[in-house]
Amino acid sequence: MTVATLVDLESLRARLPELAPSYQSAQPFPHVVVDDVLHPEAFARAVEEFPAIRDPFWKGYLHVNETKYGNTQPDTWGTTLNAIAKEFCSPEFVSFLEELTGIENLLPDWSMDGGGLHQTLRGGHLNIHADFTTHHEKLNWSRRVNILLYLNEEWPEEWGGQLELWDQKMTAAQAKVQPAGNRMLIFTTSDDSFHGHPDALTCPDGVARRSMALYYFTEEAAPVRKATNYRARPEESGLKKAAIAVDRNVLDVYDRTLRKVGLDADKVSGVLEKVNKFRRPKK
């Protein structure tokens, strides 16, 4: 049996009678925010180990709908970050998630399809979206639960970056989550669990909004494939709404092609970045 030593699973399990009802009744979709997920010394080491942006294993997701960097290769992470991710994939933690969410037979994903370490620099953003619904390699895996662990030592509210949770009709944000250090957001993934931080970060140069994301799946006979569905906010200009829609459609074609022929994701990211220069709306 794997024994969690970095994640404070004992405290998480002790809070299940409180957390599970809160999770399942939360609006606009099931979610819960939990603080102090890692033991303090583990959090301190994770912050210290988090790779700088100059690390060669970061991949840029740089287009109209997002400007962030991701590292999906745990073997390139520091020992603490790698061990934390392993604990999040352990049977004990998965069992906690099943009891919290009410979703049985969850499968962790060590391949980090869409997950891993993320960081967003000053001026970066992530438009409101619902995540892709199926695994890109294990095509009968349906995505069900997301966990986001924030890994900033400090993050004042005035820097922005609060994760907004929007209602199904995209009329307004119903909740906002401050990306405070050692805080975890857990939420159910569906084709209308809209979330993002669409406004440009105002953190100082050299500072990044940092997190670890892992996704959990269930095996289904015929899961419905949907690509990441980016959406515009009601108050945004017609030009920006059009740019968001065009970028979304390009990504949908990419997603379909990636699944069919194994297109190289790094090359496509480069193409999207070049296309973005011509159609990014001016403020």
- Dihedral sign for Cα 236, 28, 169, 134, please: positive
Mean pLDDT to the nearest integer, 9-32: 98
The tens digit of pLDDT for each residue in 32-51 reads 999 999 999 999 999 999 99
Show Cβ contacts of residue 10 under 8 Å, excluding neighbours closer than 6 positions: none
Structure tokens at 49: 């180990």
What's the confidence (pLDDT) of residue 253?
A: 87
Query: Per-residue pLDDT for 263 more than 70?
Result: no
Give the separation between CA 237 and CA 267, rounded to whole angstroms.
30
What's the confidence (pLDDT) of residue 278?
A: 43
**pTM for the model:** 0.91
Give the separation between CA 277 and CA 283, rounded to whole angstroms.
14
Query: Per-residue pLDDT for 256 more than 90?
Result: no
Structure tokens at 6: 């970095």
What's the confidence (pLDDT) of residue 257?
A: 78
Show Cβ contacts of residue 89 under 8 Å, excluding neighbours closer than 6 positions: 108, 109, 110, 214
Mean pLDDT of the chain: 92
Structure confidence at residue 283 as a pLDDT band (50, 70, 90) = very low
Mean pLDDT to the nearest integer, 70-87: 97
What's the confidence (pLDDT) of residue 264?
A: 52
Query: Per-residue pLDDT for 282 more than 80?
Result: no
Show Cβ contacts of residue 281 under 8 Å, excluding neighbours closer than 6 positions: 64, 237, 239, 240, 243
Q: Which residue has the higher pLDDT, 252 or 179?
A: 179
Mean pLDDT to the nearest integer, 142-170: 97
Q: By the 8 A CB rule, do 109 and 215 touch?
A: yes
Tell me the domains of the chain and their CATH numbers.
Answer: 9-233 (2.60.120.620)
Q: By the 8 A CB rule, do 209 and 203 touch?
A: yes
Counting residues of the chain whose pLDDT is more than 90, the rounded percentage is 86
Structure confidence at residue 153 as a pLDDT band (50, 70, 90) = very high
Mean pLDDT to the nearest integer, 129-141: 95
Q: Measured between alpha carbons, how far apart are the two ends of the chain, in Å?
A: 54
What's the confidence (pLDDT) of residue 279?
A: 38
What's the confidence (pLDDT) of residue 5?
A: 86
Mean pLDDT to the nearest integer, 78-99: 98
Structure confidence at residue 180 as a pLDDT band (50, 70, 90) = very high
Q: By the 8 A CB rule, do 209 and 120 touch?
A: yes
Mean pLDDT to the nearest integer, 157-182: 98
Q: By the 8 A CB rule, do 93 and 2 touch?
A: no
What's the confidence (pLDDT) of residue 280?
A: 35
The tens digit of pLDDT for each residue in 209-246 reads 999 999 999 999 999 999 999 999 999 999 999 999 99
Place of tokens 């900033």: 152
Query: Per-residue pLDDT for 69 more than 90?
Result: yes
**Residue 225's CB: how many other CB atoms inside 10 A?**
15
